[in-house]
Amino acid sequence: MSGAPLTLEGWYVLHDFYAVDWPRWNALTVDDQEAILLEATTVLETQTHPPDGHTACWSLLTQKGDLAFMHWRRHLEALRSEEMGLSRTRLRAYLRPTYSYLSVIELGTYELAAHAAAMLERKGTRPGTPGYDDALKSELERLARPRLFPQVPPGRYVCFYPMSKRRGEQVNWFDLPADQRAELMRGHGAIGRQYAGQVVQVISGSVGLDDWEWGVTLFADDPLVFKKLVYEMRFDPASSRYALFGPFYVGIRFAPAVLPDVMRGAVAVS
């Protein structure tokens, strides 16, 4: 049997996508629109400054939706609270859900474990010595924490898509030996590192939580980087042989305070 790799988990993640019912919205008086947006803006501003977690907003492109909200929280109860926060506003009556996705920020230990082991060895702690496993776990958590509980990256543009690994008759990712999976992911990661400083990638695991196996959220100030990065990775064996991709959503970030401008058709501004 191929051993399941150790994963570390951080923020729970909820992506929510909505389309505006524009005919009904446009039929409202300006005064009604302003009152509704003031209420919604107040809720969103509260969500973007929680005691523990983060929220961000985007204006979507294409007919897949108009508005996107992403919440990072430590517990599912907190995510549900934020989901209900918008649902209880009057604006929600003019929004039609188009897609949502539940996951948890995940970090595989393919490369991190080797790095942690090397750090321990430099400190004189080697495999087989008493307490090594606990020390390795502690070192992994120390190295991983900034990536498991990050701030929302400041990129102006976002690209989100779910994905899975193939489980077909000819190739099956989950049947591969652990060392082969690790080698493929090292090559995959090497491509991503070439885009360091241009794009920030956040991987969230969704096995047992949603319909796909992972959610990928990319943040950048140049949306063309999304195309270049994903296109290059498609030629890597980890993707070309084993990856299945879901729908792609691209948005422009905006601050909650400018929601009224976004609803009036202005270009989203952060």
Query: DSSP states of 189-233 as a string?
Result: HHHHHTTTTTEEEEEEE-TTTSSSSEEEEEEESSTHHHHHHHHHH
The single residue of 99, 157, 161, 242 carrying the catalytic annotation is: 161
Domains and CATH numbers, the chain: 10-104+253-263 (3.30.70.1030)
Give the residue among 167, 190, 191 at the shortest CA–CA distance from 241: 167
Return d(Cα 147, Cα 37) in angstroms, integer.
34
Backbone phi, psi, residue 153, to 5°: -55, 150
Structure-token match 């948005």, residue found: 251
Which H helix or E strand runs over 237?
helix 237-240
Residues 6+ apart with CB under 8 A from 146: none
CA distances from 145 to 10, 117, 128, 150 (A): 8, 17, 26, 8
- Residue 242 bears catalytic tag: no
Token reading at 227: 């195309």
In this prediction the pTM is 0.82
* Per-residue confidence in pLDDT tens, the chain, 270 aa: 356 677 889 999 999 999 999 999 999 999 999 999 999 999 999 999 899 999 999 999 999 999 999 999 999 999 999 999 999 999 999 999 999 999 999 987 766 777 777 888 888 888 878 888 788 778 877 888 888 999 999 999 999 999 998 776 677 767 778 778 777 677 666 666 776 678 999 999 999 999 999 999 999 999 999 999 988 877 777 777 778 899 999 999 999 999 999 999 887 555
Which H helix or E strand runs over 185?
helix 178-193
Question: What pLDDT score was predicted for residue 30?
Answer: 97
